[in-house]
Amino acid sequence: AQTVTQSQPEMSVQEAETVTLSCTYDTSESDYYLFWYKQPPSRQMILVIRQEAYKQQNATENRFSVNFQKAAKSFSLKISDSQLGDAAMYFCAYRYGMDSNYQLIWGAGTKLIIKP
């Protein structure tokens, strides 16, 4: 079965510092997509960053970047210069497909706390 593992249920970081959230996944596919989504308290889920597996270059979006290690099946999210507004649940997700039926498999999430 395809799985996505986020081993850190909760992380905390001082405002303005850098934090890394980890994500590993299990797959036998060679081409797939990986995502980090953010769900702030009582607010809507939003996409943080997206990575296509065939692209060697790590995706970046402003203060957010990923460390994509395809061989190790690892997809960590680095948040630089953490801000209070970054406090949220962060979910790692993987697009899995078999026989042309695609679905998103989600990790359990990491709660990120920002200390002022």
- Residue numbers at the binding site for another protein (CB under 8 A): 33, 44-47, 50, 91, 93, 95, 101-109
Q: Which is nearer to another protein, 23 or 93 (CB)?
A: 93
**Rounded CA gap, 5 and 106, in Å?**
8
Query: Considering the complex, what minimum distance in angstroms separates the CB of residue 14 from another protein?
Result: 28
| Cβ atoms within 10 Å, residue 3 | 12
Residue 13 dihedral angles phi and psi, to the nearest 5°: -150, 150
Least distance from another protein to the Cβ atom of residue 32, Å: 9
Report the distance separating Cα 62 and Cα 81, nearest Å: 10
CB of 90 to another protein, least distance (A): 12
